[in-house]
Amino acid sequence: MRISELIQSMDAIRINNLTRSFGTLTAVDRLTLSVAEGEIFGLVGPDGAGKTTTMRLLASIMDPTSGDAWVAGHHTVKEAEAVKEKVGYMSQRFGLYPDLTVMENITFYSDIYGVPRLGREEKIDRLLTFSKLTPFKKRLAGNLSGGMKQKLGLACALIHTPQVLFLDEPTNGVDPVSRRDFWRILYQLLREKVTIFVSTAYLDEAERCNRLALIHKGRLLALGTPDEVKRLMRGSIIEIRSSEPRRAAALLREQLKSDSVGLFGNRVHVVAKDPDKSTAQAQKILASAGLEAVSIHPAEPSLEDVFISVLAGR
């Protein structure tokens, strides 16, 4: 059995010490991980973390500086054309044509991917139904809402039935309802054993993935299921609700020297080594400043808490 065939039987994606540099900047730094066939895998990190570069390397759009990667059993450099036939790639700015209708865009991508004429119409109808775009197939793409454009982009990326689907921050700038609908579509794709590799800066969205990798400045910080990653939390979370959360967070940052303090909307999260001691100190600090703590209690860590904690530990 060839190496590529062995890898294909084990994982949909395998990355080994993958590195990409641009001059003195290392965008992806010795990244090593694997993605099982038929799972949603999330690549999670802030802007500039190296998510888009990683996607382009895996989709054989760009060559690495060093290291190797295999997608659907094919080496991304040595077998780049074979990789491109097996994957669908939806970039942050997917190349829809605003002056073409929904139907014309999908037909155009059918031609690009060489989708056979026989059975094409049925496949397009299924994708339109799947993405709930059937009533809008004669509408110009430029006149679609942000969420509908993303669904059309997804339909175009799926027209050739890829084994692996790469989605680069697909819900960035999309309203919450459209984000939810988009993820429902992704879960439906899992039933067809499509492996989905999605990058996102939304940590609440990362909770929807089967497994995820936290990356920062091109380096892998954590890898596992959302629950496994949460166990990396350094310390316990105290959640404080106050009538003036910004002021409360500023005071606690200044005076709770040994703890990490973060602001999450109208909530303040304190990462404490000794939660009982920190709770008492926080109550005293807020009371001295004339601030009332509406509530103060232990809380389960979010992925954002974990990400901040792991970065602080580094």
What does the pLDDT profile of the chain (314 residues) look like in tens digits? 454 444 445 689 999 999 999 999 999 999 999 999 999 999 998 888 999 999 999 999 999 999 999 999 999 999 999 999 999 999 887 678 999 999 999 999 999 888 898 988 998 998 898 888 999 999 999 999 888 898 899 899 989 989 999 999 988 877 888 888 888 888 888 888 899 999 988 888 888 999 999 999 999 999 999 999 988 887 888 999 988 889 999 999 888 877 788 888 888 988 888 889 889 999 999 888 888 778 898 888 888 888 877 776 66
Residues 153 and 80 in one domain: yes
**In a shared domain, residues 107 and 255:** no
pLDDT given for residue 53 in this prediction: 96
**Do 220 and 259 fall into the same domain?**
no
Residues 164 and 275 in one domain: no
Provide DSSP, 59-101: TTSS--SEEEEEETTEETTTTHHHHHHHEEEE-TT----TTSB
Same-domain check for residues 218 and 240: no
Domain hosting residue 290, numbered range: 236-313
pLDDT at residue 15 in the model: 96
Whether 159 and 110 have beta carbons less than 8 Å apart is answered as yes
Q: Count of domains in the chain?
A: 2
CATH number of 260's domain: 3.30.70
Q: Which tokens hold the place of 141?
A: 């793409």
Q: How far is CA 146 from CA 104, 153, 156, 177, 200, in A?
A: 18, 11, 15, 11, 17
Which pLDDT score is estimated for 314?
61
Same structural domain, 92 and 113: yes
Joined tokens for residue 202: 């939304």
165 and 17 in one domain?
yes
Same domain, residue pair 207 and 241: no
Are residue 247 and residue 190 in the same domain, yes or no? no
**Domain ends where: 230, 262, 295?**
230
| Residues 79 and 56 sit within 8 Å (Cβ to Cβ) | no
Q: What's the DSSP call for residue 278?
A: H
For the chain, how far is it from start to end, CA to CA, in angstroms?
41
- Does 208 lie in the same domain as 68? yes
pTM of the full predicted structure?
Answer: 0.83
Which residue is associated with the tokens 């339109």?
128
Residue 279 has, within 13 A of its CA and on its CB side, a CA count of: 12
The secondary structure element, H or E, covering residue 157 is helix 146-158
Q: Are residues 218 and 31 in contact, defined by beta-carbon separation less than 8 angstroms?
A: yes
In this structure, the answer to whether residues 182 and 200 fall within a common structural domain is yes
